Amino acid sequence: MSTGFHIVVCAGIVPDPLQTLEPVSGPQGWALKNEMMLPACLDPWASHALFEAANLAKNVSDSKVWLVTLGPKAKVQQVMMTMAQKVPFELVALDGAANGFTDAAETAAALANAIEGIAGLDKSRLLLFGGWESASRGAGATLQIVGERLGITEQFQGVDQITIKDNGAMEILERVEGGSHQVSECSSAPAVLGWATGNLPEPPNNSQIGMQNMRLIMPALQKAPATKIGTADIAYKGIELPKQQRNTRIVKDVPVEEIAREIVDWLRG
Amino acid sequence: MTTTDQQPEAARQEMQVDIICTGFGPATGGFLTTLSRAMTKEDGTPAFESKVMPGMLPQVICYERADDIGFGVSGVVTKAKSIRESFPDFDPAAIPMTHEVTEEKVVYLLDPVGASRRSWLVKVADNAIKLFKWILPYRHQAMELPWMPPFLQKHKGIITSIGQFNQWVGNQLMMSGAVQIWPGTPVAKPLIEDNKVTGVQLADQGTDKQGNPEAGYTPGMDIKAALTVVGDGPVGVVGRDLDLHFGLPEGNHIRDWAVGMKMVVDLPAGCELKPGTVIHTLGYPEPEIFGFMYVYPDGVASLGIFVPSWFDNPMRSTYRYMQHWIQHPYLWRHLEGGTLRSWGAKSLQESGRRGEPFLVGDGYARIGEGSGTTNVLTNSGVDEAWESGVQLADAVIELLEKDKPFTKENLDETYVKRRRASWLDSESRIAQHARDGFQKGFITGMFTTALVGMTKGKLFIPFKAKRPHDRIPTPEEYYKGRISAEEIDQIRKECRSKGLTLHDRLMEKAGWPEIKNDGQLLMSHQDILLMGGKVQATGNYADHVTFVDPRSCAQCQTLICTEICSGQAIAPNPEGLGVVFDREKCVYCGACIWSCSEANKDNPEYSNVSFRAGAGGLHSAEN
């Protein structure tokens, strides 16, 4: 009997963090201005989850990683050109909106359905990975709801580390106040792990991994079902970008303490 | 123990593919679009079989240095005849920031601030325009030329953003499943064995700035292929290494360059400019600097300037000059109240056909701008680059069908022969002397361009092109009669001690008004990097800009590399002599390569700046 994990990583795409975003309201509800023109990347929290999943799969034999994503197909394809070079995975794609104005419950329902439909997935070995937060919305609810819809009761959020013990149990470190971790032991899958940043660096690009992944990614994108995740029936009372003030100054050889003091003074001001 | 000693030497892996492409731009887009369509038969079965993975389609991989295939830089106006041939149902509306050309203007800008350095002939022309302004199409201190030479016209062409165009092409290619494009993957060098190109080596990852292995060191893989398609542009490392190894054909040179810097702007409400409008400017901020504005749909415009290598000014800060240019009354009336969306810069190889390298050799072929496709008479490069890619793809298909190897002889017989028989070659022959006159100044340049254009290349004056570093004057020479040598020396000392460039101080001393930042279109150089360029550098790669002989930098009086640097990535060393490089600000424009005033001691055709491949740079797909 196999003991490996079936790791499903739920990962949305978000605009490249350096872009300027502008919410606009249209007939289809709220969206981002020029959304399809904005370069995108995999949600940074979910990216960490993917790197951790790949690392776990590498260390636990007979494990496998799926990446489940919901986003505009053309943008997902672009993101995959970069992500496919990082770690091995099999893509499950849903073609729909990913602009941050979608409803978490609707998104979770679509993702859960897609996961249920993965051929060969053994839910008794399932580890559901994702980000505990998202760069497109701060609710952090989607992953929990996906887990609930899949009937997974063991849920961990703000995870920084997972260690597989000799008896097969999982030791999981979750972030708590003051930079400390809560250490839990989970005897077996299935479980939901919403990742914080983890401990792994971003893997270097690897052409061999890219070539392996792309053989399955392109067919997955071609058959990605259209998935309606609308905002038409959601009324937002107000939408505004976080206020920002720019005050750029280039300094060299200024002690860190002095820079910190200046920033604190500026914030107080 | 050194850092290198602390890390075990990781093995350099090797991978075999069938065809490698370096750089994803219009030329590679044309190549891959044409090739991918021929890879499968109408019934869906493979037309060709991979030599390295029998039973599969040929493995075709394109490596792109930038973090996304859409992070290119160029506002484009093109006749798009080759692009339309590739896409017979081409609809400009399918690509954001794209529109058919509806109106074209050439505008001569007079100097509204009195600081521009104009020759007596230009001053005569200026005064004549002012004298007869009542009968000339003169307004807002500019004269719209009543007639546009046919060779400049792009009637029925398109304007587009190269970033958006590349994304559109790349998405279609990837969906075909026939080829793979890997962004964020810089190539370190071509692999050359016995004068045969056998593939490329990818850049090492997990190194310090000097290239020494650190934690997570991953040596760049050797990718071997029967054919390496070199389309990495004028500053691409593979093309430049091949030029260095094989030299250039007799009589050819790459001495003419320009850096194009542009902004993408949300035009203010009520702006009267119509989508499809193309405006070319000349005359200001300096006569040698040309400008452009292309108006896209939805109130967005792309605009910028070109600073050429024959602009003999050691203080040629493209950014500062662009700020003055956009404030010219003729342009500012359209732009005031607008907001910056994006910004970027790129070097252009302006030698055109005379910069053509050996197009093919055993195992490689050159396409695009780095292969000399840019037409320096019509100021057109994208469609020409695309066409060169299409021609190479047709040649490759022919060789695959005949099961012939990619030898120099076979590539000559298929690709070069096609190119020589095409409009691409005949038009570039007409254009090849069009820019010669600019070696002697603006007026001579305009005259020789017109002469070549109007006679279709039959008449020209063959001025010899100087190497860029042979023509850079010192600040003292350039500002003679305007700023004293003592003042310049004092300013130099003050600026260098703070790690600052000189151009702001010297330009303002010479009469250029201070820039009043408005935070919308006028902003500090640092802010435009963050707000417009969204510049980012991934760690773990070696610095891609290095200085071959630091002693040359230490004694350099101009440090022109710091003045022209589009991202302020190269700056005077405040702690000593020479310069320092900050890769987190580099936008990969490559202007430092050809602006350096110091010759490379081993090869005077090159400068003292070495420019390699690295990841990062601009993060905007709107350029």
Q: Which of residues 213-272 of B touch A (CB under 8 A)?
A: 216, 218, 221, 223
Contacts of B166 (CB under 8 A, 6+ apart): B24, B25, B26, B29, B69, B70, B72
Residue B414 has pLDDT above 80, yes or no: yes
Nearest CB among B170, B175, B621 relative to A37 is that of B621
> Contact, A62 vs A7, CB < 8 A?
no
> Contact, B66 vs B25, CB < 8 A?
no
For every residue of B445-507, DSSP letters joined together read HHHHHHHHHHTTTSS---PPPPPGGGSPPPHHHHTTTTS-HHHHHHHHHHHHHTT--SHHHHH
Neighbouring C-alpha atoms within 13 Å toward the C-beta of A72 = 18
Q: Please, what is the end-to-end C-alpha distance for chain B in angstroms?
A: 46
* pLDDT tens for each residue of B432-483: 999 899 999 999 999 999 999 999 999 888 888 899 889 999 999 999 999 9
Taking the Cβ of residue B32 and every Cβ of chain A, the question of whether any pair is shorter than 8 Å is answered with no
- Provide the pairing of β-strand B213-218 with B205-207: antiparallel
Handedness of CA A182, A188, A189, A190 (dihedral sign): negative
Residue B8 has pLDDT above 80, yes or no: no
Report, as an integer, the average pLDDT of B73-95: 93
Given an 8 Å threshold on Cβ–Cβ distance, is B175 in contact with A39?
no
Q: How many CB atoms lie within 10 A of CB A123?
A: 16
pLDDT for the residue numbered A69: 96
Strand ranges (DSSP E) for chain A?
Answer: 6-10, 13-15, 23-26, 29-32, 40-42, 64-71, 90-95, 126-131, 155-164, 170-175, 181-186, 191-195
Residues in chain B: 623
pLDDT for the residue numbered B535: 85
* Residue of A81, A86, A248 best to disrupt the B interface, most CBs of B under 10 A: A81
User: What kind and span of H or E run contains A54?
Assistant: helix A44-59
* CATH topology (fold) of B13-88+163-206+213-253+354-431: FAD/NAD(P)-binding domain (3.50.50)
Taking the Cβ of residue B52 and every Cβ of chain A, the question of whether any pair is shorter than 8 Å is answered with no
Taking the Cβ of residue A26 and every Cβ of chain B, the question of whether any pair is shorter than 8 Å is answered with no
* pLDDT tens for each residue of B558-612: 999 999 999 999 999 988 889 999 998 999 999 999 999 999 999 999 999 999 9
Residue B94 has pLDDT above 60, yes or no: yes
Q: Which of B617, B540, B525 is nearest to B210 (CA)?
A: B540
pLDDT for the residue numbered A248: 63
Whether pTM exceeds 0.95:
no
* pLDDT tens for each residue of A43-63: 999 999 999 999 999 999 999
User: What kind and span of H or E run contains B197?
Assistant: strand B196-202
Q: Which of B506, B589, B503, B611 is nearest to B262 (CA)?
A: B589
Report, as an integer, the average pLDDT of B82-104: 94
Under DSSP, the state recorded for B308 is E
Q: Which of B208, B180, B258, B252 is nearest to B15 (CA)?
A: B180
Q: Which of B617, B565, B593, B597 is nearest to B244 (CA)?
A: B593
Greatest mean pLDDT among A1-10, A28-37, B274-283: B274-283
> Contact, A68 vs A110, CB < 8 A?
no
| Residue B495 Cα distances to B332, B501, B567, B597, angstroms | 31, 6, 18, 19
For every residue of B4-35, DSSP letters joined together read HHHS--PPPPEEE-SEEEE--SHHHHHHHHHH
Given an 8 Å threshold on Cβ–Cβ distance, is B221 in contact with A206?
yes
**For the domain with range A6-222, which CATH number is right: 3.20.20.60, 3.40.50.1100, 3.50.50.60, 3.40.50.620?**
3.40.50.620
Q: Does residue A190 have a cis bond before it (omega within 30 degrees)?
A: yes
* CATH topology (fold) of B470-611: Alpha-Beta Plaits (3.30.70)
Given an 8 Å threshold on Cβ–Cβ distance, is A207 in contact with B182?
yes
Residue B9 has pLDDT above 60, yes or no: no
pLDDT for the residue numbered B43: 87
Taking the Cβ of residue B519 and every Cβ of chain A, the question of whether any pair is shorter than 8 Å is answered with yes
Nearest CB among A36, A207, A208 relative to B96 is that of A36
Question: CATH 3.30.9.90 spans which residues of chain B?
Answer: 97-158+254-349
Residue B7 has pLDDT above 50, yes or no: no
Residue A230 has pLDDT above 70, yes or no: no
pLDDT tier at A137 (50, 70, 90 boundaries)? low
Question: CATH 3.50.50.60 spans which residues of chain B?
Answer: 13-88+163-206+213-253+354-431
Q: What pairs with residue B472 in β-bridges?
A: none
Backbone torsions φ then ψ of A104, nearest 5 degrees: -60, -40
Q: What pairs with residue B78 in β-bridges?
A: B158
User: What kind and span of H or E run contains B207?
Assistant: strand B205-207
pLDDT for the residue numbered A155: 96
3-class secondary structure per residue, B110-126? CCCCCCCCCCHHHHHHH
Nearest CB among A39, A85, A252 relative to B499 is that of A252
Distance of residue A266 Cα from the nearest chain B Cα, in angstroms: 19
Count of CB pairs separated by less than 8 Å, A with B: 95
Report, as an integer, the average pLDDT of B30-38: 97
Q: Which of B121, B31, B30 is nearest to B78 (CA)?
A: B30
**Rounded distance between C-alpha atoms, residue A44 and residue B326, angstroms:** 38
B81: left (phi > 0), else alpha (psi -120 to 50), else beta?
A: alpha
Q: Could you report the predicted ipTM of this complex, rounded to two decimals?
A: 0.79
- What residue ranges do the domains of chain A occupy? 6-222
Q: Cβ-count burial of B419 within 10 angstroms (0-12 exposed, 13-18 middle, 19+ buried)?
A: buried
* CATH topology (fold) of B97-158+254-349: D-Amino Acid Oxidase; Chain A, domain 2 (3.30.9)
Q: Which of B527, B518, B533 is nearest to B268 (CA)?
A: B518
Measured between beta carbons, the chain B residues lying within 8 angstroms of A37 are 96-97, 164, 621-622
Residues in chain A: 269
Neighbouring C-alpha atoms within 13 Å toward the C-beta of B350 = 25
What's the token pair of residue A254?
């200024």
pLDDT for the residue numbered A18: 72
Higher-pLDDT residue of B1 and B397 is B397
Report, as an integer, the average pLDDT of A117-142: 87
Nearest CB among A16, A211, A248 relative to B619 is that of A16
pLDDT for the residue numbered A15: 86
Given an 8 Å threshold on Cβ–Cβ distance, is B68 in contact with A82?
yes
Q: Which of residues 132-151 of A touch B (CB under 8 A)?
A: none
Residue A231 has pLDDT above 70, yes or no: no
Measured between beta carbons, the chain A residues lying within 8 angstroms of B68 are 16, 39, 78, 82
pLDDT tier at B2 (50, 70, 90 boundaries)? very low
Nearest CB among B15, B174, B531 relative to A207 is that of B15
Report, as an integer, the average pLDDT of B375-393: 96
Residue A88 has pLDDT above 60, yes or no: yes
* pLDDT tens for each residue of A13-49: 998 877 777 888 877 778 887 777 788 899 999 999 9
pLDDT for the residue numbered A246: 60
pLDDT tier at A139 (50, 70, 90 boundaries)? low
Q: Where do runs of H (alpha helix) occur along B211-305?
A: 237-246
Q: What pairs with residue A67 in β-bridges?
A: A9, A91
Under DSSP, the state recorded for B533 is I
Mean pLDDT of chain B: 93
pLDDT for the residue numbered B5: 40
pLDDT tier at A204 (50, 70, 90 boundaries)? confident
Report, as an integer, the average pLDDT of A51-80: 94
pLDDT for the residue numbered B44: 82
Under DSSP, the state recorded for B371 is G
pLDDT for the residue numbered B1: 32
pLDDT for the residue numbered B611: 94
**Rounded distance between C-alpha atoms, residue B512 and residue B531, angstroms:** 25
3-class secondary structure per residue, B94-112? HCCCCEECCEEEEEEECCC
What's the token pair of residue A75?
């943008």
Report, as an integer, the average pLDDT of B104-126: 96
pLDDT tier at A267 (50, 70, 90 boundaries)? confident
Measured between beta carbons, the chain B residues lying within 8 angstroms of A222 are 175, 177
Given an 8 Å threshold on Cβ–Cβ distance, is A74 in contact with B171?
yes
pLDDT for the residue numbered B540: 85
What's the token pair of residue A34?
């020029």
pLDDT for the residue numbered B201: 97
Q: Where do runs of H (alpha helix) occur along B253-381?
A: 318-326, 329-335
Under DSSP, the state recorded for B529 is I
- Provide the pairing of β-strand B360-361 with B290-296: unpaired
Taking the Cβ of residue B182 and every Cβ of chain A, the question of whether any pair is shorter than 8 Å is answered with yes
A149-163, B301-315, B516-530: least confident range? B516-530
A26-35, B125-134, B231-240, B565-574: least confident range? A26-35
Q: How far is CA B550 from the centre of its chain?
A: 26
What's the token pair of residue B495?
């600026």
pLDDT over 70, % of chain A: 93
pLDDT for the residue numbered A238: 81
> Contact, B377 vs B452, CB < 8 A?
yes
pLDDT for the residue numbered B6: 44
Question: CATH 3.30.70.20 spans which residues of chain B?
Answer: 470-611
Q: Does residue B285 have a cis bond before it (omega within 30 degrees)?
A: yes
What's the token pair of residue B497?
């001690």
What's the token pair of residue B596?
């350096």
Residue B4 has pLDDT above 50, yes or no: no
pLDDT tier at A123 (50, 70, 90 boundaries)? very high
pLDDT for the residue numbered B525: 92
Handedness of CA B284, B289, B294, B299 (dihedral sign): negative
Residue B252 has pLDDT above 60, yes or no: yes
